[in-house]
């Protein structure tokens, strides 16, 4: 049973890292083709990636979800935010991996981040953006989730949930 959890955690970690790198490369391609958009923010440049296990807890219905974003990083960071969109999810919990291009200890200094969350059955993906630049991802699996396409903003603070 424990080896299954480890295998799932490794898979989520690899997928989250690939998603973050893909988002950053695509953002760089767009900026290189459209110079008027300006440069990619330095804090999101391709380079070192920081990862942590964590969870997302969902409560809501119809067009709204309250999401607790919990990173089991050192130091632990979290956010509680309301996101809006199309959802049939009525609540649940997802466990997975966060990957960011900035250390978790510096997330609160970024201020408000745009967050986009997609839930399809038990698979949850999220991307975190600062000023149009991708800075982080989350991929996880869960129970009692549903289907949703949500967006909003979040701000990380030190602490755990």
- pTM as predicted: 0.75
- Top CATH class, 2-158: mainly beta
- Kindly write down the DSSP assignment for every residue of the chain, as one continuous string: -HHHHHHHHHHHHHHHHHHHHHHHHHHHHHHHH-GGG-PPPGGGSSS--EEEEEEEEEEEETTEEEEEEEE--SS-EEEEEEEEEEE----EEEEEEEEESS-GGGGGGG--EEEEEEEEEEEEEEEEEETTEEEEEEEEEEEEEEEEEEEEEE--EE---
Q: pLDDT in tens for each of the 161 residues of the chain?
A: 445 544 544 555 565 556 555 655 665 565 566 555 455 554 444 568 899 999 999 998 888 999 999 999 999 999 999 999 988 877 789 999 999 999 999 999 999 999 999 988 888 999 999 988 899 999 998 876 778 899 999 999 999 99
- For the chain, what are the domain ranges? 2-158
């Amino acid at each position: 049973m424990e080896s299954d959890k480890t295998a799932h955690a490794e898979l989520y970690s690899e997928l989250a890292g690939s998603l973050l790198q893909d988002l950053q490369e695509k953002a760089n391609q767009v900026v290189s083709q459209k110079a008027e958009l300006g440069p990619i923010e330095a804090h999101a440049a391709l380079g070192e990636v920081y990862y942590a296990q964590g969870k997302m807890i969902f409560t809501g219905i119809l067009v709204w979800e309250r999401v607790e974003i919990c990173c089991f990083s050192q130091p632990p960071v979290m956010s509680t935010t309301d996101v809006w969109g199309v959802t049939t999810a009525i609540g649940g919990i997802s466990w997975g991996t966060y990957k960011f291009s900035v250390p978790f200890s510096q997330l609160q200094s970024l201020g408000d981040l745009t967050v986009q969350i997609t839930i399809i059955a038990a698979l949850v993906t999220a991307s975190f953006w600062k000023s149009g630049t991708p800075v982080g991802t989350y991929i996880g699996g869960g129970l009692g989730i549903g289907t949703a396409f949500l967006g909003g903003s979040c701000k990380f603070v030190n602490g755990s949930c």
